């Protein structure tokens, strides 16, 4: 049976960013506009990755199954709608939030609780995909079909967004998973794109981890 994990890289990147953003929410002084603006930027980055993840699911992964007549668990569609509703509430609350807003501390605390609700429920959603959806993918897609899906996932992700996936995904992977992920990248990406990947790797990994990765990939970094 096919053993490729369709969710490993993206879900680990999302878990990493969710954790970082949760800490940032907790530390934000909502009476300081600069801190609110910084939190907004981090939230927008998360939303961009989640939108990318949903797009890949809806336009690559799920069609690969439905084209073979495979049914998708209904609870997954329900989950997507419910999570989208919470995201909408968070974004709407941010639209009018500023350091001069009346009772800004209380509103910031409420927003923090709302984000924690989303964080917890999205973790459960990813767990659901990994225990319910992943076995279906592995059962019904052979190795050749999986390679086509993997290439489509890359082709449908803009390069800037791909670098953000690497930024949060690489430090959440084991060394062996990093090597397995990046070896095909070396031959398939342009020199410019590969330079960007190494740049975010250097930014997101410790010096020891980065040097080990470069050696493992047999690369020369100037």
Q: Are 26 and 145 in contact (CB under 8 A)?
A: no
pLDDT at 222: 56
Dihedral (CA of 67, 73, 77, 83) sign: negative
pLDDT at 77: 67
pLDDT at 205: 97
Q: What's the predicted TM-score (pTM) here?
A: 0.92
Low-confidence ranges of the chain (pLDDT < 50): none
Q: Which domains occur in the chain, in start order? A: 8-157 (1.20.120.520), 173-222 (no CATH)
Report CA dihedral (26, 41, 185, 180) to the nearest 10 degrees: 10
Q: How many residues does the chain have?
A: 222
Give the chain as a 3 state SS string. Answer: CCCCCCCHHHHHHHHHHHHHHHHHHHHCCCCCHHHHHHHHHHHHHHHHHHHHHHHHHHHHHHHHHHCCCCCCCHHHHHHHHHHHHHHHHHHHHHHCCCCCCCCHHHHHHHHHHHHHHHHHHHHHHHHHHHHHHHHHHHHHCCHHHHHHHHHHHHHCCCHHHHHHHHHHHHHHCCHHHHHHHHHHHHHHCCHHHHHHHHHHHHHHCCHHHHHHHHHHCCCCCC
pLDDT at 27: 94
pLDDT at 72: 79
């Amino acid at each position: 049976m096919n053993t490729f994990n369709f969710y490993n890289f993206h879900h680990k990147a999302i878990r990493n960013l969710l954790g970082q953003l949760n800490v940032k929410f907790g530390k934000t002084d909502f009476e300081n506009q600069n801190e609110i603006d910084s939190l907004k930027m981090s939230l927008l980055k998360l939303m961009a990755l989640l939108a990318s993840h949903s797009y890949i699911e809806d336009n690559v992964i799920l069609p690969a199954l439905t084209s073979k007549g495979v049914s998708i668990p209904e609870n997954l569609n329900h989950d997507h709608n419910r999570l989208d509703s919470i995201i909408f509430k968070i974004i709407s609350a941010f639209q009018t939030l500023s350091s001069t807003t009346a009772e800004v501390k209380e509103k910031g605390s409420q927003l923090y609780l709302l984000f924690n609700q989303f964080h917890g429920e999205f973790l459960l959603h990813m767990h659901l995909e990994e225990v319910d959806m992943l076995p279906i993918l592995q059962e019904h897609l052979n190795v050749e079909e999986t390679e086509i899906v993997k290439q489509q996932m890359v082709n449908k992700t803009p390069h800037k967004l791909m670098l953000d996936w690497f930024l949060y995904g690489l430090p959440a992977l084991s060394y062996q998973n990093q090597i397995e992920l990046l070896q095909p990248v070396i031959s398939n990406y342009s020199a410019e794109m590969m330079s960007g990947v190494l740049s975010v790797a250097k930014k997101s990994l410790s010096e020891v981890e980065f040097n080990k990765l470069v050696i493992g990939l047999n690369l020369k970094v100037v």
